[in-house]
Structure 1
């Protein structure tokens, strides 16, 4: 039965069926886990609470516009090396996506009229920075070159489960230098590396926002391993937008899952992870049905997993310690805009970051992120129009306790403030509006099923790199976690890594 047929008919499964793995949620991490296992011959079922797959990498249609739920700055679609995890995940189940390369990762609009483009060409990017900061040119090159050392270590090996001794032993003997190189960087953060080479406080602030736009924390709290991947892969594999929108990634993974014999069931909200003798053995759905599996994988956040799907009072001590180290990041206030194409002058870049005051970078609504995917794929909007997705960090606490009237009024008031700020880089934006839909942390929680609408975990304090980030196995036997709450963290390529690792670990545990 096809995915569409399941969604339309509400097909059910025999309660006596036992799957090799049930995956809760069809975010990219969950789908990569499912497809990797299905490709190995496992009997896999994905349960998705919504109507379509993808989670934060989903989409929605409005009045001729196809909007991405999240950002459109996509890593992982390179054609060489091993860090092109989205390309590899699709290929494993016989799928591929046509992509459009972006010559510039992002254009920064920063305090003191600091305007910088991160060009795909590495030397061009360094030259632009050197022109802005000539006294720090040597240190800037040394810093980004060191990030390349991390990337080259990662790119030399298959990225699978760091919890599986056989894999670690094999990869160490195949790539001893790369493994030892990564061990060196595991306990370090970006700020530690940057200050080795750079003293100019404004350059260090630039490194902060280079980290913040994907880690939601400054350089001192961003693991060097992650930065090595992001700061280098944008020049190696590049930023590539999937034609048809980001939602195509999940759609293609689902197609591949089905071809490999796996199944997905929509409008199937899991309300409980079933345990017997302390071991996860199944899930209970909102309709009361129980489904069983040898392994259970949660693609929900760890807060949702251990505070909602399992009894909070029985939370393992390891999870309590993790929550002492990490907290929920903010969610986002999002503006999904349809605009007259004349608003955007020729040469406008696809991705922008706007910040007027350095002191506001981490504050709610301080930094504005902008994606304009129709500059890469015009088919997503009606002719003569573009999509602008503008979003900024926002906390759930600021949106609670409001009546429906107050909630709507606040949405419109905050949207007006953001639009006025965006006029700085897009003059005439207000006058050129054709469509606007506003999303808040409450929207993210409702449609994505994420605790407080959070983007993912961030450190409560400075931690030693990735050493405290949990892997896929949990303290509950038979239960695994995948996605941005696990190593290596947020971002589509990162959660794909998590999916590869989770599937590898489960396959080893199943003896496959």
Structure 2
């Protein structure tokens, strides 16, 4: 106690150290043990790797991590952790791994299920998106650029007039085009692109938010509120504040089909992200989308992991201490130290958490029940296979968005894979996507696949005819007779094959409410259970992949340095935006933590001083002998060595008065001591006027030395702490023990 009260700086340092240790423990407590990287010779073919059926004997021993779901988020988090030495098991309910990156064949045609195009300069190996795919696939996936035109938005009015807007990869060229088309709206167009840049800077901050510990998220949001401004405003709210031109407003809002929420609901951050994402053009995987899961699964298995299909997880195992420790698959329990769910927050919390532990996530389920959090629409898909040559049929390599009065859209994918013609000669495929609603097919959801009844099939046929008509209208060189396959997928098709909730292929709604909710926090209220995938960051192939990378870094913080390198543009150029934000995140977090440590240290130290002072005051109130002949005047010739003179047995030595000319020098202090009788125990009592704490400290030190030498006793074991009740403390008597 004496060392602490004499050296507050030492105490503060100790307190900061303790707080730092607590912080380190918090960061490390959720980590699983780290092994040396494992190397396994994988002999299976790519097709065999993504179709390995579940069997208990195939499950690796001593698992570190179980990943639920094999979409882009699940495969990314699994590959990242496997490369760090974790023994990982990925469980997929479908009969093929890959989620929206897998493909299927029907009638001799290959169709993809969700990978239509992605952006991010994928032909440049120094850019983050390309480095991400290279990292998880060991540089085994290549991409083909689709051309300068990313999208074409077709506006067809009620009178049959048709207007096509070409959205290009060059933002400056697109801005120039818009200004020529809308000469009176130059300021609005400039303001829109400025808002897009500001909103995209907010994604860096949001990435940092998702990295934050749960207890720090609120402070981080407050700290960066201005940078997240566009996350909390809708597309319509922002764009309508910039222009009143309905046509321009509709053009700037065209991309809402890419994230599933109309402009009146969607956060402007998504609109900005889509425009920025395709700034370098649109890309397609060489060999088709399914090459991505095949190569990533090979990486996972080559590091000792396993990816098993037809493995529906029915429950996450949680012990009495609220720690997740495994999953249940087909009645069999599989144990692991960490569980990561990529099937979406609603599915995880509502269906996989046991009833006995549901109360831990009730508050999150209430947030997810908010209509603003739930997807407002699903997507209906028409898979079209037809004969012909792509060039002869004038099939483009970009997407076509069709809007009758800006209220309806169809997304058409043409042949983008340069190897498609070799793999499927004389055959072309198209995908027509239109908004749909789950309640249209909800009553058929409990029926078996391909056995849901005549009413359901009739409904699908009606939709098929309408979508085929739109397809042929847009591509007149394609004849109806050349169409050999036309299959419709509905919202319940999405639920069955993709594991979605109510057909929501984009996951949770991308409204402002989503970005203020803790339901998308990768850390859950269940220890050792984490979320990943598109609900963690954003929808889409790349969004889900970044969600997987983020969760991997949370589970295994040793990935953070590698994450910084991965997300920087190159070693010779300045760091990318997200890398800079990771550094920027650490600065305010460090400031907050250090400030908190200092505040706590000061408060605790003050409390200790206050407690000690109260003890001293209580001690001062104890009975003592009063001075009878004290004087307030003294000659300046009295010097310090006269401070304590030996008193006769039974007498007590007192200090009568104190004076100083320099508070920092005990050599300038003058005292007068007197002896009195009637005290049972020898003590020193000070009578002082206007004495300062600084002077008191010097006096105490001098008294200690003098007492030890003059009376040949040990120095006092405990010295008095200064506590003067007022500026003029006339009669302050504080006994000092000489024992």
Q: How does 1:406-417 map to 2 (within 5 A)?
A: 406-417=455-466
The SS at the match of 1:219 is: coil
1:357 correspondence with 2:357:
no
| Residue among 32, 53, 77 paired with 2:97 | 53
Q: Write the distance in 2 (CA, Å) between the matches of 1:458 and 1:67.
A: 25
- The CA RMSD over aligned residues, in Å, is 3.4
* 1:284 alignment counterpart: 328
| Residue among 353, 357, 369 paired with 2:411 | 369
- Give the 3 Å change call, closer, same or farther, for CA 329–42 of structure 1 in structure 2: farther
| Residue among 16, 26, 30 paired with 2:74 | 30
* 1:73 alignment counterpart: 117
- Give the 3 Å change call, closer, same or farther, for CA 161–294 of structure 1 in structure 2: farther
The SS at the match of 1:218 is: coil
| Residue among 315, 318, 329 paired with 1:272 | 315
Q: Write the distance in 2 (CA, Å) between the matches of 1:28 and 1:441.
A: 20
Q: Write the distance in 2 (CA, Å) between the matches of 1:368 and 1:377.
A: 25
Q: Write the distance in 2 (CA, Å) between the matches of 1:110 and 1:443.
A: 29
| Residue among 275, 285, 290 paired with 1:242 | 285
Q: Which stretch of structure 1 is more off in the superposition, 349-358 or 30-39? A: 349-358
TM-fit CA distance, 1:262: 2.1
- Give the 3 Å change call, closer, same or farther, for CA 346–141 of structure 1 in structure 2: farther
- Give the 3 Å change call, closer, same or farther, for CA 396–280 of structure 1 in structure 2: same
* 1:452 alignment counterpart: 502
Q: Write the distance in 1 (CA, Å) between the matches of 2:244 and 2:112.
A: 39
The superposition leaves residues 25-65 of structure 1 with CA deviations (integer Å, 9 ceiling, x where unpaired) of: 10001111111111222221111122221112211123432
Q: Write the distance in 2 (CA, Å) between the matches of 1:394 and 1:452.
A: 11
Q: Write the distance in 2 (CA, Å) between the matches of 1:454 and 1:80.
A: 33
The superposition leaves residues 237-275 of structure 1 with CA deviations (integer Å, 9 ceiling, x where unpaired) of: x31100111122211211121223322122211111111
Q: How does 1:364-443 map to 2 (within 5 A)?
A: 366-374=408-416, 376-379=418-421, 382-401=424-443, 403-427=452-476, 428-443=478-493
The SS at the match of 2:164 is: strand
| Residue among 258, 271, 276 paired with 1:227 | 271
Q: Write the distance in 2 (CA, Å) between the matches of 1:57 and 1:85.
A: 16
The superposition leaves residues 87-146 of structure 1 with CA deviations (integer Å, 9 ceiling, x where unpaired) of: 414325523311110222111112443311111222332233334323223422331243
TM-fit CA distance, 1:467: 2.6
- Give the 3 Å change call, closer, same or farther, for CA 233–459 of structure 1 in structure 2: closer
TM-fit CA distance, 1:158: 12
Q: Write the distance in 1 (CA, Å) between the matches of 2:333 and 2:178.
A: 57
* 1:476 alignment counterpart: 526
| Residue among 539, 544, 547 paired with 1:498 | 547
Q: Write the distance in 1 (CA, Å) between the matches of 2:550 and 2:469.
A: 44
Q: Write the distance in 2 (CA, Å) between the matches of 1:198 and 1:401.
A: 43
Q: TM-score, length-normalised on structure 1?
A: 0.85
Q: Write the distance in 2 (CA, Å) between the matches of 1:29 and 1:209.
A: 27
The SS at the match of 1:489 is: coil
Q: Is the 8 A contact 2:123 2:130 kept in 1?
A: no
Q: Write the distance in 1 (CA, Å) between the matches of 2:208 and 2:125.
A: 14
* 2:185 alignment counterpart: 136
* 2:86 alignment counterpart: 42
The superposition leaves residues 457-511 of structure 1 with CA deviations (integer Å, 9 ceiling, x where unpaired) of: 4549x6367233622111222211112222x221111111111111111113999
Q: Write the distance in 1 (CA, Å) between the matches of 2:412 and 2:242.
A: 30
Q: Is the 8 A contact 1:374 1:387 kept in 2?
A: no
The SS at the match of 1:135 is: coil
Q: Is the 8 A contact 1:144 1:231 kept in 2?
A: no
The superposition leaves residues 168-223 of structure 1 with CA deviations (integer Å, 9 ceiling, x where unpaired) of: 99xx9xxxxxx89844544344334323432212211222322x121222334333
Q: Which stretch of structure 1 is more off in the superposition, 291-300 or 315-324? A: 315-324
Q: Is the 8 A contact 1:186 1:465 kept in 2?
A: no
Q: Is the 8 A contact 1:330 1:455 kept in 2?
A: no
TM-fit CA distance, 1:338: 1.2
| Residue among 343, 350, 353 paired with 1:300 | 343
Q: Write the distance in 2 (CA, Å) between the matches of 1:82 and 1:479.
A: 34
TM-fit CA distance, 1:375: 6.6
| Residue among 332, 340, 364 paired with 2:379 | 332
Q: Which stretch of structure 1 is more off in the superposition, 7-16 or 37-46? A: 7-16
The SS at the match of 2:512 is: coil
* 2:152 alignment counterpart: 107
- Give the 3 Å change call, closer, same or farther, for CA 481–54 of structure 1 in structure 2: same
Q: Write the distance in 2 (CA, Å) between the matches of 1:431 and 1:474.
A: 54
- Give the 3 Å change call, closer, same or farther, for CA 430–504 of structure 1 in structure 2: same
- Give the 3 Å change call, closer, same or farther, for CA 244–59 of structure 1 in structure 2: same
1:190 correspondence with 2:235:
yes
- Give the 3 Å change call, closer, same or farther, for CA 47–195 of structure 1 in structure 2: same
Q: Write the distance in 2 (CA, Å) between the matches of 1:279 and 1:83.
A: 39
Q: Write the distance in 2 (CA, Å) between the matches of 1:405 and 1:37.
A: 47
1:323 correspondence with 2:369:
yes
Unaligned runs of 5+ in 2: 1-41, 445-451, 562-739
Q: Is the 8 A contact 1:116 1:129 kept in 2?
A: no
Q: Is the 8 A contact 1:224 1:465 kept in 2?
A: no
Q: TM-score, length-normalised on structure 2?
A: 0.61
TM-fit CA distance, 1:398: 1.3
* 1:124 alignment counterpart: 173
The SS at the match of 1:334 is: strand
Higher share in strand: 1
| Residue among 59, 62, 70 paired with 2:106 | 62
* 1:175 alignment counterpart: none
Bigger radius of gyration: 2
Q: Write the distance in 2 (CA, Å) between the matches of 1:369 and 1:61.
A: 20
- Give the 3 Å change call, closer, same or farther, for CA 196–380 of structure 1 in structure 2: farther
The SS at the match of 1:19 is: coil
